[in-house]
Structure 1
């Protein structure tokens, strides 16, 4: 019996309309991993590049970025289940854990402390022979910008002030946001005299010759107590309940981050990394923006690693305990996920 061609065509259309939603569901059924990212700075470079280049999709997961503006905000967003991965300093994490936050570190992120302390060029600080402590004493009475109150930058500022024999009340601490908003406040509006903030702050000062770097913690400068933290300064954290419920997702995420790191550290891909960040950090209105961006990213490439340094993490824990950021020791064996990189 001859089948009507029009009937066949109609049947094909009906079948397509039925199957298409299922196909879309299959494509969208990948587990979604939301990772915190800081605006105006490199932030979680692994997450940014993985999303842009599709490394997560290779392993059957979908990575998305969630904007956070500080470590404390990242912790709260993580605990509120509005994202799965937060990248913030252990000092903030330990404070949360001491109050009951059940989170674990799953891999590294940014090895060194991602902060530089700078002053505007018209601010005169004492000079010491190879000793920044003399300059730190000169901060007394100044108005100092930080990304946000309670952030890792402020915690380190307080530590530096203590080492110089000063108290936090000897200065005025002001929240100014990321470098792209803090830098104009420092050198144009002059509403602050100094600032401790994320990269590319030091590069902005060096290229623009508008401010002077007192200490660049991201390049290993500073007192021994802070240098000992290199290797675990800003790792990635997740909730324990999510980790235990999704071991295969965690395995896929780690593999994706390892691939991402290998790709972005390949010199052949550096121009593409710069192009990606040019879209997200335009450095509008800042002279020599591209030169600053390239210098900054090249420097940061040396600091990023998903490999966590456990010895450095303990040094950070001891620092937090010594400076009363936490009042009781924390069991690091419980804090570090058993399969952390």
Structure 2
């Protein structure tokens, strides 16, 4: 697979944590609650603001976390590797964890606890209008033959989108060398690149399709709708903490789990649709009508927060070569799962 820019190599968690410490500590690290007050914690989260990508800012704004005893400072990081480093280094008490970033660290001796599951994959692979798609309408994997020779835009190199492309190519009897993968960033930069013909296909994330308009693309693969696709239903990220923090702060972790479960309930409740749409319009820089379209298309991506055996086993999809999937019984916090199952009020 040819790249138009070189992916950064993995840096150790210790180095990343040291670099993040100044930023995150300035934002406010965790502390014990004062006289029955909420627990002040820092969460190393998604670079994106929209509820499709990160429900935490929405839940914070609506008091979901504070009602469950958590005063959460949401801090943006640039990658899942940085989030893992922040958790390991202690500059964030909780963070957004991805198995591709964390499993190698676990194999090296670090210890993490996965607490809740986040959203499912929500993008669609689209092609420019008029791009030849001789296998359009054919079932997967025959439809993936149309990828051959294409320049395909992804948010960033080396991530889940590129991994999925490799799986699609293999299923269609193609190789990574049959396509060129281009890092085009988020919709603000990706949409102009797509429209200018810098890429032939694009892993579209919201609000790209709304910006392009219904006549501005052709759907090649829908990862929300087609169970045959390799990442259908795949949960991209989890919330988590270090084993030391979980062991030393059981009440903080219990309150965080209850708050996060409530946040999932909040975003899944149709009654809260107007609040979610308003946040989408604000954080995504779109008008109300566009935000409503985005939520109608992507609102179902959020799980109830439980980490099921099926969700955990599917993580094998993204593991680097030579890295084993950690034993679910050892790394998924059972008390947090019980909290989710028992149900909490948002």
Cα 1:151–1:63 change in 2 (3 A) is: same
**1:22 alignment partner in structure 2:** none
Counterpart CA distance in 1 for 2:228 and 2:108 is 29
Counterpart CA distance in 2 for 1:238 and 1:248 is 13
Counterpart CA distance in 2 for 1:79 and 1:40 is 24
Counterpart CA distance in 2 for 1:49 and 1:213 is 30
- Indicate which of 311, 336, 339 corresponds to 1:340: 336
Cα deviation, 1:268-316, whole Å, max 9, x if unaligned, reads 3211211122221104xxxxx5433212223333221243242223432
**1:59 alignment partner in structure 2:** 68
Counterpart CA distance in 2 for 1:127 and 1:134 is 7
TM-score of the pair, normalised by structure 2: 0.77
Q: What count of residue pairs does the alignment treat as equivalent?
A: 305
Counterpart CA distance in 2 for 1:317 and 1:79 is 21
By how many angstroms is 1:233 displaced?
3.8
Counterpart CA distance in 2 for 1:84 and 1:165 is 44
The answer as to whether partners of 1:117 and 1:197 remain within 8 angstroms in 2 is yes
**1:298 alignment partner in structure 2:** 296
The answer as to whether partners of 1:132 and 1:214 remain within 8 angstroms in 2 is no
The answer as to whether partners of 2:80 and 2:98 remain within 8 angstroms in 1 is yes
Cα 1:129–1:44 change in 2 (3 A) is: closer
The answer as to whether partners of 2:163 and 2:318 remain within 8 angstroms in 1 is no
Contiguous gaps of at least 5 residues in structure 2: 1-33, 338-346
Does residue 90 (structure 1) correspond to residue 96 (structure 2)? The answer is no
Cα 1:268–1:220 change in 2 (3 A) is: same
Does residue 276 (structure 1) correspond to residue 284 (structure 2)? The answer is no
Worse overlay, 257-266 or 168-177: 257-266
Counterpart CA distance in 1 for 2:329 and 2:76 is 30
**2:111 alignment partner in structure 1:** 102
Cα 1:292–1:87 change in 2 (3 A) is: farther
Cα 1:265–1:320 change in 2 (3 A) is: closer
The answer as to whether partners of 2:49 and 2:57 remain within 8 angstroms in 1 is no
Contiguous gaps of at least 5 residues in structure 1: 1-24, 284-288
Counterpart CA distance in 2 for 1:120 and 1:300 is 21
By how many angstroms is 1:220 displaced?
3.6
- Indicate which of 251, 265, 269 corresponds to 1:266: 269
Counterpart CA distance in 1 for 2:108 and 2:133 is 39
Matched ranges for 1:1-341 at <5 A: 30-39=39-48, 41-110=50-119, 112-127=120-135, 129-187=137-195, 189-205=196-212, 207-217=213-223, 219-223=224-228, 225-227=230-232, 229-230=233-234, 232-283=235-286, 290-320=288-318, 325-341=321-337
TM-score of the pair, normalised by structure 1: 0.78
Cα deviation, 1:71-95, whole Å, max 9, x if unaligned, reads 3343344334443333354334334
Cα 1:246–1:35 change in 2 (3 A) is: same
Cα deviation, 1:227-251, whole Å, max 9, x if unaligned, reads 3x54x44322222222222211111
The answer as to whether partners of 1:35 and 1:63 remain within 8 angstroms in 2 is no
By how many angstroms is 1:43 displaced?
4.9
Counterpart CA distance in 1 for 2:298 and 2:73 is 22
